[in-house]
Structure 1
Amino acid sequence: MTNREFLKGVTVGALLTGALTVGGFTGWMKASASDSVVSDKSTKAKLEYLEKIIDANYLEEKDEEALAEGLYTGLLYGLGDPYSRYYTEEEYDRENKENEGSYSGIGVVITENSEGGILVTECYEGGPAELAGMEAGDVISAVDGEDITEKTTAQVSQMIKNDEDGNVVLTIHRTDVEEPLEITVSVTDVELPTIYSDMLEDHVGYLRISEFAMVTPKQFEEQFGGLQEMGMEKLVIDLRYNPGGVLSSVCGVLEQILPEGMIVYMEDKYGNRQEHTCEGKTPLEIPLSVLVNEESASAAEVFAGAVQDYGIGTIVGTTTYGKGIVQTIIPLSDGSAVKLTTAKYYTPNGNDIHEVGIKPDVEVKLDTSLLNKENISREDDNQLQAALKALGE
């Protein structure tokens, strides 16, 4: 494993998300106006006055639709909850695609290049870009002959996704290749890899789960099955830097290894309880270690908490992030949506880990000398070595 693959950082605190459909705005109109912020006379008067100030003084033309979207955004922002927010239709569509773990594209990770163009930092294994011959380190300078050296990654992504004939021609500059390359790549549905697997020495399987997307349970089943076919006798699951994801996804993975019983349960402010249980058809019967750190959050903590409560594995690393609250996405009839913190979740034994986290059974901090290394061997990874040792104890 190279380029610090297991330490690949992502945004901390991804949301443990459920979906709740609300049929438009009519339900809100039945609510009492007396306790409504937006119907308060002083609030309405101030908003009208602010708009008059804009009309009288703002240099450019105002966009009334954008101003309205700003009001909705501000209403949710006023909760002071970093996990609650308003989505425009476009943002909600993007959020859904991210949760699904698949999208229309060519299977690359890109970033803006300091010298112009777009740098390809990763090609997904088996994806259209890799199959067409693209490599990490390639720099894209044109899409279908159109220069993109001054465009953002978002703009280039849209150009590629919106290609009408299903194939895009990319002009590529590659180190040690004198002339630019023109590579034709198919634009298709790409499944994001959320699980990396390998067989270590002594028949120890290794699974790193980067996030819990809708595609993760299927990928886990495939990768886990492949390791079993290779003769796996012990297993390490690496959840370090896993920011969480979708609740149904982590439950779908845990259903493949837990005995019969509770996976996780949630309670809202009214005391209503929702449970997720496991039938226990395929309980894990080999030694297990689960690696976590302070950036293992949300759904990753659901996973670690269930493993710890059932005693089917040893949790190794440092105390997790401590995000034990649930966000529900509520779609609206105009295509927009709101995401609200609606409940707390609890481990099977009833542990509330919000702002507490999951404490490892074996506490091991990552050797700080490794943080600045580009290439870290498994032998140098002291947390992994501790997890391997725990398998034999």
Structure 2
Amino acid sequence: MVIAKRGLILGATALMLTGVTVIGAGIHLSSQASLNNNDTKELIDQVWQIIDKTYVDGTFNQVDWKATRTEFLDKSYTSDEQAYDAIREMLEKLGDPYTRFMDPEEFKNMQIDTSGELTGVGIQLTQDEDTKELVVISPIEDTPAFDAGIQAKDIITKINGQSTQGMDLNDAVSLIRGSIGSQVTLTIKRENREIEFPIVRAKIEIHPVKYSQKESSLGKIGYIRLNQFSANATGEMREAINDLESQDVSGYILDLRSNPGGLLYSSIEIARMWLSRGDIVSTVNRNGVTDRQKANNKSLTDKPLVIMVDGGSASASEILSGALQDNKRAKLVGTKTFGKGLVQSVRGVGQGAGLAVTIAKYFTPNGRDINHEGIKPDEKISLTDAQKEMLRKNRSKIGTIEDPQYAKALEVLTQEIATLQNNKAESAK
């Protein structure tokens, strides 16, 4: 399908960087104009029509969608707020936490560029489809949430003492976000214990790419850590690879741990930097129409590559790692990824409001359905809680031999480099 490249966002669901919510695994921000009148029933009908035409599940969660339209249009509404509540009630029938209505303030927040200077706590948050628990995808590095010790898969049970049981994702976001310097206390369930984390909201600067040249037994290697697929990730990744190539590295380790996603366009373009040919990702809508994104013979390097992933690697991270794994371009090291493979379209409705609709699923080149299943690494290695805490407190050790997952990735990369060098030596005889 044709997409507005800078408007398609992949994030594992709610991205709370600023007190701003970014929803979805794949989001296409439509250029459709908002309505120019206050007709609340027209707004409700507009939302119904969009769902009717584009929602990924043609059975609408086994709901009689036409009867739903009649039900909600037969009611009287005296304010925008009543219409908003009615729309949210209507969408709940779909049983899809990623299809949601946003009031004008929420929609304005949605449209904030992911590469900007943000404020908040730095948590990527989702709602479990079955239990409705609020689950942390991962904290962004160097943010208040990361510094406090929030981890991927943590479950938020209370916000400032208020139980989150049955709480809507939007309401949770509203409670967590706030002004710079203010404090929010999150009660986290981790395994069988609850922990309180008082977190001071702050300004957050996101620089998605960090890289360095490191030494190995077989020469220099390039280490690149990508924290988020934001608007400038493509340029920063290109610069990193070109710089490391100029230093004549023998191979690369790409660290996607705790990377929750971002712009789909960035994940595709970054995949093309590593992959010369082959499919990258395909999306399938409810009519079975498939769109495929492919490599374009413009890769920047063909040197051995190992990718590090974990449970916080989601959406765009899964597209990139899945594409390179399926094409046998890279080995994956770490733990299974998050498992988020839904594409959402986001457009303006009413007077400044917005609607996010799940319109498709995406698949790896080999046809793997990432949703819920995630991507399994070629070499599994987990971190203990003590190791996670050590790396959180000593971030300079991330990407060093004191980082067990990095040490394993280096071992795998060294084997790949040695195999390549041996093959070249045999061919030269």
Corresponding residue number in structure 1 for 2:288: 271
5+ long unaligned stretches in structure 1:
1-9, 52-62, 112-120, 124-151, 158-186
The aligned counterpart of 2:214 is: 200
| 1:280 alignment partner, SS class | coil
- 1:35 equivalent in structure 2: 66
Q: 1:259/1:34 Cα in 2 relative to 1: closer, same or farther (>3 Å)?
A: closer
Give matches, 1:244-283, under 5 Å.
244-282=261-299
- Per the alignment, residue 223 of structure 1 pairs with 240
The 3-state SS of whatever aligns with 2:274 is coil
> What amino acid is the match of 1:70?
D
Matched, 1:17 2:17: no
- 5 Å-filtered alignment, 1:132-281, equals 154-156=178-180, 192-202=206-216, 203-281=220-298
Residue 414 of structure 2 is aligned to residue 392 of structure 1: yes
Query: 2 CA distance for matches of 1:304 and 1:198?
Result: 20
What residue number does 2:166 align with? none
**Letter of the structure 1 residue corresponding to residue 103 of structure 2:** T
The alpha carbon displacement at 1:391 in A equals 0.6
Match of 2:334 in 1: 317
Residue in structure 1 matched with residue 105 of structure 2 by the alignment: 90
Aligned to 2:323: 306
Q: Map 1:328-347 to 2 at 5 A.
A: 328-332=345-349, 334-347=351-364
Flag the 1:65–1:13 CA change in 2: closer, same or farther, 3 A.
closer
Helix, strand or coil: the match of 1:371?
A: helix
Compute the displacement of 1:335 (Å).
2.5
Structure 2 counterpart of 1:179? none
Q: Does structure 1 conserve the Cα–Cα contact (< 8 Å) formed by 2:25 and 2:341?
A: no
Q: 1:89 to 1:215 in 2, by over 3 A?
A: farther
Contact 2:275 2:302 survives alignment (8 Å)? no
The correspondence of residues 38-53 of structure 1 with structure 2, limited to 5 A, is: 38-40=69-71, 43=72, 48=76
How far apart, in 1, do the equivalents of 2:205 and 2:244 lie? 21
- How far 1:371 sits from its partner (Å)? 2.2
Q: How far 1:102 moved relative to its partner?
A: 2.1
**Alignment partner of 1:73 out of 88, 93, 102:** 88
Residue 70 of structure 2 aligns to a residue whose secondary structure is: coil
Whichever residue aligns with residue 87 of structure 1, its letter is: M
Rounded to whole Å, the distance in 1 between the matches of 2:323 and 2:110 is 27
Aligned mates of 1:382, 1:96 — CA distance in 2: 38
Q: Give the 3-state SS of the residue equivalent to 2:270 in structure 1.
A: helix
3-state SS of paired residue (1:251):
helix
Quote the residue 1:297 is aligned against.
314
- Larger mean Cα displacement after TM superposition, 326-335 or 205-214: 326-335
Residue equivalent to 1:167: none
Q: Distance in 1 between matches of 2:244 and 2:24?
A: 28
- Measured in 2, the distance between the counterparts of 1:359 and 1:366 equals 16
TM-score normalised to structure 1 length: 0.66
Assess, with a 3 A threshold, how the Cα gap between structure 1 residues 219 and 327 changes in structure 2: closer, same or farther. Answer: same
Cα contact 1:291–1:387 (8 A) shared by 2: yes
State whether residues 262 and 316 of structure 2, in contact with CA within 8 Å, keep that contact through their aligned partners in structure 1.
yes
2:355 and 2:177 map into 1 onto residues whose CA distance is 26
Q: C-alpha separation between the residues in 1 aligned to 2:65 and 2:237?
A: 51
Question: Matched residue pairs, number?
Answer: 297
Counterpart of 1:375 in structure 2 is 394
The structure whose Rg is larger is: 1
Residue 333 of structure 1: how far off its partner (Å): 5.4
Letter aligned with residue 406 of structure 2: L
Identity, in percent, stands at 26
Deviation at 1:22, TM superposition (A): 3.8
| 2:82 alignment partner AA | L
Indicate if the aligned counterparts of 2:333 and 2:405 stay in contact, CA closer than 8 A: yes
Q: What 5-or-longer segments of structure 2 have no aligned partner?
A: 1-14, 17-21, 36-41, 53-63, 123-141, 145-175, 182-202, 416-429
CA 1:16–1:286: 2 relative to 1, 3 Å: same
Cα RMSD, aligned residues only: 3.4
Note the C-alpha offset of 1:191. Answer: 7.3
How far is 1:255 from its partner?
Answer: 1.6
